[in-house]
Amino acid sequence: MAVPGRVAELRLRIAAVAVLVVSLASCEPPAPPAQSAQPDSQRIAAPAFNADSAYAYVERQVAFGPRVPNTAPHAACADWLAAELARHGAEVTVQEGRARAFDGTVLNMKNIVGTFHPESRDRILLFAHWDTRPFADKDSTRTREPIDGANDGGSGVGVLLEVARQLGVESADVGVDIVFFDAEDYGRPEWMPSTENGYRDWCLGSQHWAQNPHRPGYRARFGILLDMVGAADAVFHQEGTSLRFAPHVVRKVWKRANELGFGDRFNASPTPPTIDDNFFVSDLAGIPSANIVDYRIQVRPMGYGPFHHTHADNMSVIDRETLRQVGTTVLSVVRQP
């Protein structure tokens, strides 16, 4: 999930992060025709990626219940995520921290890091958030109850767990760090007014990690964030903050997706900049990071789909083919960066 556009716009204006900030509430960037998939003769070989396994990983997370910090399902899921990364051969670090939420609640966070080839200085960072929204503030019913977060949270983690499984079977030539960030989705709800510094209500886990990495002096060549990557009708446009901080990474990922035959899913048209985990990893940690996120340009005021921050964000949203295309693209970039 990314921060609502009005907060992202304010932050990016104040920090001069974007050359031109487009208002999410009133403006849309030009939308050129979607890229079409390349002919078979121009495609590259796809690495092994098991969509059924990725789907099962999403399903397993949802089975714990909403993964809201300071709850039993959250604690149980954290233990499972760490154990699963270790099972696939990763060196696991659980980074614990405390952060104060918008309402004063002190959140006990756990960023979970799986490191492959820890000896390598040439590294790629892959990340997603694993917590879920503590309220369904975009729903019309049960608005004060937490959501399943199958797509918003679960899908990115599910894809990266399958990437970890594949790296355990066949290692990459570079070092890979898979980070599951906590407390991303505990931001100010829709029924509360935004504030000048409201962007800092979000992505608390990645803010903490960016200023206190799991290894002192940690560096990576680039990063890729997966956020809301499981819906059947998802289209991944080039997100504005990614284009500001990491245009070369965006070009790399979208070119690879096109070479794999996924050009209809990975569309080259830009979206407005948003505040998401990639913003803090890029800005505070200095690791240029691209965000693969299902942002729907034609949907106003925020283009995250009708199930976003509602109880409809459940397993019925998740599509194996979308998971396969995202996971295959990311794994291909890792294997041939």
User: Closest Cα partner for 280 from 125, 149, 162, 148?
Assistant: 125
Catalogue the E-assigned strands of 139-275: 175-181, 222-227, 236-238, 266-270
pLDDT given at position 106: 98
CA distance 237 to 34: 9
Tens-level pLDDT at each residue, the chain (337 residues): 665 444 444 343 434 333 333 333 333 334 444 444 444 446 899 999 999 999 999 999 999 999 999 999 999 999 999 999 999 999 999 999 999 999 999 999 999 999 999 999 999 999 999 999 999 999 999 999 999 999 999 999 999 999 999 999 999 999 999 999 999 999 999 999 888 788 899 999 999 999 999 999 999 999 999 999 999 999 999 999 999 999 999 999 999 999 999 999 999 999 999 999 999 999 999 999 999 999 987 766 568 989 999 999 999 999 999 999 999 999 999 999 9
Whether residue 301 has a cis bond before it, omega within 30° of 0: yes
Cβ count within 10 A of residue 102: 16
Instruction: Determine the 3-state secondary structure of 97 from DSSP.
Output: strand
Fold (CATH) for 5-335: Aminopeptidase (3.40.630)
Domain boundaries, the chain: 5-335
CA distance 154 to 316: 13
pLDDT given at position 24: 32
Strands across the sheet with 175-181, in order? 91-100, 106-116, 175-181, 123-129, 222-227, 289-293
pLDDT given at position 300: 61
Contacts (Cβ under 8 Å, ≥6 apart) of 16: none
Cβ atoms of 323 and 229 closer than 8 Å: yes
pLDDT given at position 296: 87
Quick one: which H or E segment has residue 99? strand 91-100
Q: What angle do CA 245, 43, 47 make, to 5 degrees?
A: 75
CA distance 299 to 250: 22
pLDDT given at position 15: 43
CA distance 258 to 236: 12
Instruction: Determine the 3-state secondary structure of 240 from DSSP.
Output: helix
Backbone angles phi, psi at 205, to 5 degrees: -65, -45
